[in-house]
Structure 1
């Protein structure tokens, strides 16, 4: 073979290999991005419905059937798509407390949110006490 043909083939193979690597890396990044979006929405839904229920119970309003349905759906989605740490924190909260009524339950729910933050961002520099205060105010009043 002529040297010009060999050089041209090497260049063509290099371009093809580069295109394939770029395609697979882009696809992997897009999959990761979509997973984070799905997890974030599931986590937000769970936190929102728990907040709604806690707020309504604070005002002596009984839980509505649609709230329980939304809670079950949000919890199921979070368990389905959540990281292992998030699932363990959810299990711990619902097995021990199930409702936001005591300081211990507020702390347990704060651990869920900490695990969610770590899962979505990869790190978490917010302390548990700061997050608890931000979520529930002083002395965990939902």
Structure 2
């Protein structure tokens, strides 16, 4: 009788372990897929914004429909799969104008980048790191092609 009970308990414990393992595996798989979707949405958004900002800074003010489509697609995916803090930061950036032409837009974009980084599990950057300078200084301070032109 005790051998039978031990076998039954062992079978039940094995089934519970298998079900528990399956549930955890499925949850991890869903989380991995969501993290990939989130990273892809962030990457596509950053790429689309970079294209539009570069076009504006080079003097082109008419946006291409394909560029706007890519931007809106990425924004939509961020709204669907990102953490609440990222969506709020995206809203703040977009309501500021979304063109990176004014200081408040640059600050909002910097906040958005920090929130994206945080949502991906990266350590929060210290305030000493001047993320705005990294993001918006178009050429390194030691870039010297102008000196070569002036000297030549």
State whether residues 86 and 116 of structure 1, in contact with CA within 8 Å, keep that contact through their aligned partners in structure 2: yes
User: Which sections of structure 2, spanning at least 5 residues, go unmatched?
Assistant: 139-152
Contact kept in structure 2, 1:42 and 1:74, CA below 8 Å = yes
Q: TM-score, normalising length from structure 1?
A: 0.87
**What is the correspondence of 1:21-40 to structure 2 with a 5 Å cutoff?**
21-40=20-39
Task: Find the counterpart in structure 2 of residue 19 from structure 1.
Answer: 18
Write the mapping of 1:92-107 to structure 2, written as runs, cut at 5 A. 92-107=92-107
What secondary structure sits across from 1:33 in the alignment? helix
What pairs up with 1:1-142 in 2 under 5 angstroms?
A: 2-62=1-61, 63-121=63-121, 123-127=122-126, 129-137=129-137
Kindly state the Cα deviation for residue 124 of structure 1 after the two structures are TM-superposed: 2.9
Deviations 1:68-121 (A, max 9, x none): 121122112211222111111111111122211122211110111111111111
Across the two proteins, how many residue pairs are aligned to each other?
Answer: 137
Kept in 2, the 8 Å contact 1:118–1:124? The answer is yes
Larger Rg: 2
**Counterpart secondary structure, 1:86:** helix
Instruction: Supply the distance in 1 between the matched residues of 2:135 and 2:37 (Cα, whole angstroms).
Output: 22
TM-score normalised by length of structure 2: 0.81
- Give the RMSD, CA atoms, in angstroms: 1.9
Deviates more, 1:128-137 or 1:68-77: 128-137
Checking the alignment, whether the CA contact within 8 Å between 2:45 and 2:74 is kept in structure 1 is: yes
Instruction: Give distance in 1, aligned partners of 2:104 and 2:59.
Output: 21
